[in-house]
Structure 1
Amino acid sequence: MVDFNRPNRVSSARDMPGNEVVKMRVGCVGAGVMGREIIRHLVTAGHDVAAFDLDPVALAAIDPRAVAVSGIADLANSADVFFIIVATDAQTSDVVTQLLAVGLGDGAAIAVLATCHPDTMAPLAKAAKAAGIGFIDAPVCYGKKGAVDGNLLSLCGGDVAVVEQLKPAMMAYSRDVLHVGAIGSGQVAKACNNMMHWAACVANYEVLFMAKSHGINAQHMREILLQCPARNTTLERWDSTNFTWHEKDMDVALDLAQQSGITLPLFGQVDQLVKTLGPDKVKMLLYGNSASYLGQNLAETAADPEK
């Protein structure tokens, strides 16, 4: 079971005027949409960065101030701390296993930035501990835009001392670093965030679909709601939501509920309903003359001002 502590804000160099950021040797595995931006912020902050990705095109696109290496062994020799920024649990496990197999130096530490099932973290942390290597899970919130802007939120599970060790590097791309609790807690916190996000996607669509059915332009209604108490950050960024990871996210969420023996009726419905949505459907609702939902089709009509 994951132990929960009250989330603790980890102090950072950003909070201490006049303090120099500690320069670190950072190895990043994964140079995709998120990894590329994180690498850029790390080198901009003054860290020495080496990066590896199986995709040569992605690797070639990293910031030229970072060093592209040819494999995990080269990465292990080029860094002291390692950020895993891959797409799946299987990739995460494979990368961490390879890093531990080649051997890392004294004081080395690994942070998993990828969004994974919390259960994936425990065996990796155990293996890292046996090798004398620090290990935390540190998934991030705010997606691609947060990565581009360098203001992601890092949710950390594991030994707070390891979080503090990696803090100077994590703050290069984070608005804040929060220690949630034991190993896996960062991933549980990310799952909670994802649940709220996907529930908001469904709620936003249904609300604006109803508004449109009464002759109110959906984008106009969205702008109004963003000034109301019911506003949510998902609604703010809704027309840029890609709906990429909802199936993976909801599978993790519902599995966690099942493990605890609890029933979450709302999220059982969200799991099914979010599958009916997508970016094109949202944009049609907001900006088009028609919209559809669960077999119901609407053509936008102007509301009667006399009603």
Structure 2
Amino acid sequence: MNVSLIGLGDMGHDIARHVVAGGFTVTGFDVDPERRNAAAALGVDVQNTLAGAVAHAKVHIVMVATDEQSEQVTREILEEGVAGSVIVITATNGPKTMQTLAKACRERGFGFVDAPVCFGRVGAREGTLASLCGGSDADIETIRPVLDCYSRAVHHIGPVGAGQIGKACNNMMHWAHCVANYEVLLLAKRYGINAQRMREVLLECPAENGTLRRWDSTRFTWHEKDMDLALDMAQAGDIPMPLFGQVDQLVKRLDKEMVKELLHGPEADYLGWHLTALPPEKGGLN
């Protein structure tokens, strides 16, 4: 089976590597020539145009960022690809965008699946992403062997758009954990307990969560986009979510350097406060 991969950045590069290792013929395209060169070194048949990359593929993996980019690439594949092939959107986009694109694909005889991924950069590098899929049984069975190359699990959640709903649910829990983890470890640090040691202890307690376990690799690269998308979906669905309204505001004030300093540095910052451990005479444990 021939597979095209559109978008050869950090995530796409590693996904391409795993799909090539899985024995598939992979053609690729990216607007960045350096990314194209890097993918060529993996054994990807890199093309200088999107049209060249998708011309003979049965499955098209689209690893771009925004709804607008997903729309643009999908429209180009419909013009240049082969009817009967399946387009797979791996980006975190809106479910309505997915439904609109799926309709356009059906009208042209193409399959369509939204399959955003979890576990981020580390998961892509290790080939242990989780693919959350929305689409028909037939389309997902067609693409499953390809997704299995880079996924620890391929979850069929429901019809087109369901993959994006599933990704939003995961993201909401992830960012809520980010805020809770930071505040909890900040409390420990304030009273003189080593925050990294407290983290290690909590990983052996009921408070353990996947975000805390992967805390060192959380990059805070998409939290603004992810939370905005989730809250837009809540508003469109007329669902009150006061907790996540607060999480939305708080997580946007965190970054990986703050987490690094909290876990391994002598001090920490949060919401404008610069915090050090309390001395014993003021309630600290040191």
Instruction: Give the TM-score taking structure 2 as reference length.
Output: 0.95
Query: Larger relative contact order (C-alpha < 8 A, sep ≥ 6)?
Result: 1
Alignment pair present for 1:41 and 2:10: no
Residue of structure 2 equivalent to 1:211? 188
What runs of 5+ residues in structure 1 fail to find an aligned partner? 1-23
What runs of 5+ residues in structure 2 fail to find an aligned partner? none
Output the amino acid matched with 1:78: H
Residue of structure 2 equivalent to 1:174? 151
Q: CA deviation at 1:82?
A: 0.2
| Distance (Å, rounded) in 2 between the aligned partners of 1:80 and 1:260 | 35
Residue of structure 2 equivalent to 1:75? 53
Quote the RMSD (CA, aligned, Å).
1.5
1:128 corresponds to which of 94, 97, 105: 105
Q: In the alignment, is the contact (CA less than 8 A) between 1:216 and 1:302 conserved in 2?
A: no
Q: In the alignment, is the contact (CA less than 8 A) between 1:217 and 1:300 conserved in 2?
A: no
Q: 1:1-80 alignment to 2 at 5 Å?
A: 24-62=1-39, 63-80=41-58
Residue by residue over 1:170-204, the C-alpha shift from the partner in whole angstroms, topping out at 9 and shown as x without a partner, is 10101111110111000010010000110000000
Q: In the alignment, is the contact (CA less than 8 A) between 1:154 and 1:174 conserved in 2?
A: yes
Q: In the alignment, is the contact (CA less than 8 A) between 2:3 and 2:25 conserved in 1?
A: yes
Q: 1:306 to 1:254 in 2, by over 3 A?
A: closer
Q: CA deviation at 1:76?
A: 2.2
Q: Counterpart of 1:276 in 2: which secondary structure?
A: coil
Q: 1:100-179 alignment to 2 at 5 Å?
A: 100-102=78-80, 104-179=81-156
Q: Alignment identity in percent?
A: 52
Q: In the alignment, is the contact (CA less than 8 A) between 2:202 and 2:208 conserved in 1?
A: yes
Output the amino acid matched with 1:108: S
| Distance (Å, rounded) in 1 between the aligned partners of 2:112 and 2:164 | 13
Q: Counterpart of 1:206 in 2: which secondary structure?
A: helix
Q: 1:287-306 alignment to 2 at 5 Å?
A: 287-300=264-277
- Give the count of matched residue pairs: 283
| Distance (Å, rounded) in 2 between the aligned partners of 1:198 and 1:155 | 18
Output the amino acid matched with 1:197: H
Output the amino acid matched with 2:135: G
Residue of structure 1 equivalent to 2:76? 98
Q: Counterpart of 1:187 in 2: which secondary structure?
A: helix
